[in-house]
Every structure is written in structure tokens, then in C-alpha cells.
Amino acid sequence: MTRQHAHDAPGLRAWLGLAVVLGPVLLVSMDGSILFLAMPRISQALSPTADQALWILDVYGFAVGSLLIAFGGIGDRYGRLKLLMTGATVFGLGSAGAAFAPTPELLIACRALMGVAGATLLPSALAVLSELFPDSRRRARAIGVFAAAFAAGFAVGPVIGGSLLGHFWWGSVFLVNIPVIVVFLVFAPVVLKEVRSGGTGRVDPLSVVTSAGGLLLTIYGIKHLAADGISALPIATVIVGVAVLAFFGLRQRHLDSPLIDFSLFRDRVFAIAVITGLLPLAAWSATAYLSGVYLQSVLNLSVLHAALLALPGAAALVISCVVTPAVVERVGTRAALLVCHFSIAGGLLLLLPTTATGGIGWYTASTVIAGLGYGISFAVVADTAVGAVPAERAGSAGAIAETSNEIGNALGIAVLGSLAALIFRLQGPDLAPTLDETVRLPSLLPSVVQDAKSAFVTGLHVVAVVASLLHAALGVAALRRLPKPAQEERATAERLSVRCSVS
């Protein structure tokens, strides 16, 4: 294990390493949102079927979410830099293939390849930061920047996509990845060092297969329940996925070198932080999706105009990610998590004054206030996960944090999105299952269109209230369950002593 640099204060090399790592991280998150704007062009060029179009959109997220845990453990054992270099190369090849794909089938395959590569990058990048910044304060700041880049990718993806599509063909949204990957491959071997764990044993192949398979089946089933409604196949898929994950969890308890050390969840700060990784992503994904429909289909704004309106909230989120570590140093994790959940709860409630005829100002205010909480959650969850374990397990801990985000994203669309769809069916004109399908029906009276839009806004309001109440409840739980600052300082000191004794 090469850890000579671990006891030195980070210098220029460490900060250059952070800058190099951020490029692929930004691409991985950006690719999760940039494709939404390109899909109409892709549909015109490749004529995919409805199922193929769904796979083009979803296969990337399926691959990333299902493989994070597996690659977190593999990177810990066999080398994080090696995995980062391999993943970046595959991501670049997949991007080039997707840009010039002549058929929907090949585009789906390239997107899947990009998702596999993306799953190698996130946990290993977090683990590399743990090595570059062994000091807890500097590591927290570096992870705050990491979280900001990851969050910014989601936010700026649609804006960058809209700009590219205004001047180039649809493949440009994939080719934009290539220069960033080339820069990473050139500079990563210079500023980063290879680090692998020593003595954590070999990777258990069955754990890799069951973690990936269980997550894939669960996320796939949840997303299809959201898209298609309740039916036997997605329900069965979710049940099988959960059963496989249960088997995976039981197996980890009997392994000397588990992919996930579930004993970490005995730490109340770690457990609530990981839940914090899940719930804000659920609220964010659901309200972002519904708000996008609201801005475009209810208020009739263009896609690019809607993306630009999201920028103030994105800016608040990114700034919050960056400053959170310094704030946590002063007020502690407990106070930061309280601000996180109550600011998200309050921000979501600001969506309630929106109407079918206006509400852009309320929408913007909502994204800014809630964005502060989202930024805190990204920064605190990642740092808490990585800081709670010995350095050689940082990749696995980072994978737990990122996986909680992915599952939260899937649950938000599935559960909260389905709730909005249910309200629309109950309150709307009941002519089609969605607002977009309803307004495209021929010969609709203006009053019917207005009723459909009002029903959709009601669904958005219900989702905002439910998500707000969940965050308020988690905030109360954090208030009652998390240690106070003095207790937190003692717990942090104990964690640091464990890390130092291991190193």
C-alpha cells in the first residue's frame, strides 16, 4: 500500500489531483441529465421504438446505480488509479460510439458502456480524495468541491445540451466528453498515485454479482412502476431485486472482507447521513421532473428557458456544497443536517403558491432555498461516509453514499412521481394518463386544457407537501438522535484515531 504521502499536508499536487478528478465526475453527473434535451433529435434521426427510447434514457442510470457498490470494493482492493484510468478510457470510447451510433440498438449499448464506466469513477474518485487529503478538515473541503461538481453536472447538463443542439447535431452532446477524458488520461498518472488496500482480502465474486443484480432489478422495477403504473412484471422485478439484495446483505455478515461493512450503520451519524443521501435526492428528482413539466407544459416555456430558470437554484446548491465543510467545522454535523432538512422542507413549500397561469418567481425561490439544503446533503453525506472508515475502505464507503443517492433518485421518480400521476388522474379530465398526452389530444376545449393543467399543478403541490413533511420528520429525528457538538467532537476524535492506527 503506497501511503507515504498520507501523513504530509496536501500541497499543490493534491489540489491539482482534485482538479483532475473533477473532470470525469462532472461528466458522469452531466450525462444523467443532458440526454433529455437531445431525445427529440435522436428520435428523428434513429426512429427508436417507445421501448428503445426508454432504454436510451434509462440504461445509463441503471448501470451506474447497480455497479457502484461492486466497483467501490474492487477499487479498494486492486487499485483506485488503475480503475479510474480504465473507467475514463471506457467512458470516452462509449461517448464516441454513442455520438456516431447509426442504430438505436448500438446507442443503447454505448450508453450502457458509459454507465459501467461511470460506476468505476465515482467511488474511486472519492477514495482518491481521501488519500490526497488525509487531514479531516482539508478532506471535507475537497469533498465539498467534489459534491459541488457532481451537483453542478446535473444542473448544467440541460443548459449545455441546449446550447450544443442549437448549433450541432445530436451526437455533439456525447462528443463534448472526449476533451475532458483526454485531459484526465494525460494528467492523472502525473498528479495521482496508485493506492490499494493491503490485507482486506479478495473480492467475493458472488457479492459483486448479487449487489449489481439486486440493485439493477430493484431500480429497473421501480422506474417501470413509475412509468407504466402497477403491473405484475415490475412488481415481481422489485420483489426479486429486494430478495437478492437481502441475500447480499446476509452474505456480507459472514465474509472476512465484505463489499459493504454494515456495522457502519451502528453509528447514528453515519446512518442518518446515508438516509440524508437518499431522501433529498428523492425530493430533488421528483420535483425537478415535475417542475420541468410545469414550466414547459403548463406555462409553455421553451426547454432552454426552463433550464435557465433552474440556474439560480443550481448556483445555491453548488455554493452550499463548497462552503458546507467550513460551516460544519464551526457548528458540527448535527446542526448542518438540521439546516439541510428544514431548508429543503421550507423550500419545497414555496412551490405551493404556483398556479396554472404563473409562479416563476415562487419556483425560483423554491429552488434557491431547497438548493441550500441539497448542497449540504451532498457535502455532508460524502464526507461522513468516507471519514467514518479506515482509509483502505474509503472506496466502499463512498459507494454507499453514491448508491444512496442513486436509489433516492429512483424512488423519487417512482413513488413521488406516481403520487403526482394519481392526483392527476383523480382531479383531471381523465382523458389520458399524463398532462402532455392530454393536451396533445385533438379538438380539446380550452376549459378542458385548463382543468388538466390545474390538476397537474395540484399533483405538484401534493408531492411538495409530502416531501416537505418527510424532510421535517427527518430533521426532527436528527435533532433527537444525533449527538450534540461536544459528543460529536469526541466521536470524530475516535474515528480519526482509528484511521491513524490503521495507517
Query: pLDDT of 335-384, one tens digit each?
Result: 888 888 899 999 999 999 999 998 999 999 999 999 888 888 877 776 66
Three cell numbers, residue 61: 442510470
Residue 196's nearest CA partner among 84, 98, 116 is: 84
pLDDT at residue 389, as a whole number: 58
Instruction: Tell me the average pLDDT across 126-152.
Output: 74
pLDDT in tens, 120-133: 877 677 777 767 77
Categorize the per-residue pLDDT at 36 as very low, low, confident or very high, splitting at 50, 70 and 90.
Answer: low
Which pLDDT score, from 0 to 100, does residue 100 have?
92
Residue 299 has pLDDT above 70, yes or no: yes
Are 419 and 459 contacting, i.e. CB atoms less than 8 angstroms apart? Answer: yes
The more confidently predicted of residues 89 and 138 is 89
Quick check: 498 pLDDT over 50? Answer: no
Highest mean pLDDT (candidates 11-20, 108-117, 211-220, 325-334) = 108-117
Q: Which residue has the higher pLDDT, 61 or 451?
A: 451
Q: How large a percentage of the chain has pLDDT more than 70? A: 78
Length of the chain: 503
The DSSP H or E segment spanning 220 is helix 205-228
Q: What is the pLDDT of residues 434-443, one digit of tens each?
A: 787 788 788 7
Section 233-239 average pLDDT: 88
DSSP state of 294: I
pLDDT over threshold 90, residue 97: yes
Taking a C-beta distance cutoff of 8 angstroms, is the pair 444, 486 a contact? no
Residue given cell 394518463 in the structure block: 433
Which residues, including other chains, have CB under 8 Å from residue 422's CB and lie 6 or more apart?
A: 459
**Considering just the CA atoms, what is the radius of gyration of the chain in Å?**
22
Mean pLDDT of 237-241: 90
Please give the grid coordinates belonging to residue 321: 456544497
Mean pLDDT of 449-457: 91
pLDDT at 195: 56
Question: End-to-end distance of the chain based on CA atoms, in angstroms?
Answer: 10
Q: What is the pLDDT of residue 77?
A: 67
* pLDDT exceeds 70 at position 2: no
d(CA 354, CA 460): 9
pLDDT category of residue 402 using cuts at 50, 70 and 90? low
pLDDT at 388: 59
**What pLDDT score does 7 carry?**
44
Average pLDDT, the chain: 77
pLDDT at 496 over 70: no
On whether the CB atoms of residues 95 and 174 are closer than 8 A, the answer is: yes
Judged against a pLDDT cut of 70, whether residue 106 lies above it is answered with: yes
Residue 502 has pLDDT above 60, yes or no: no
Answer for the pair 279, 471: CB distance below 8 angstroms, yes or no.
yes
pLDDT, average across residues 270-289: 78
pLDDT band at 457 (very low <50, low <70, confident <90, very high): very high
Alpha helices in 101-135 (DSSP H): 104-132
Burial of 4 (C-beta count, 10 Å sphere; 0-12/13-18/19+): exposed
Average confidence (pLDDT) over 223-243 = 80
CA atoms 214, 216, 221, 226: torsion sign:
positive
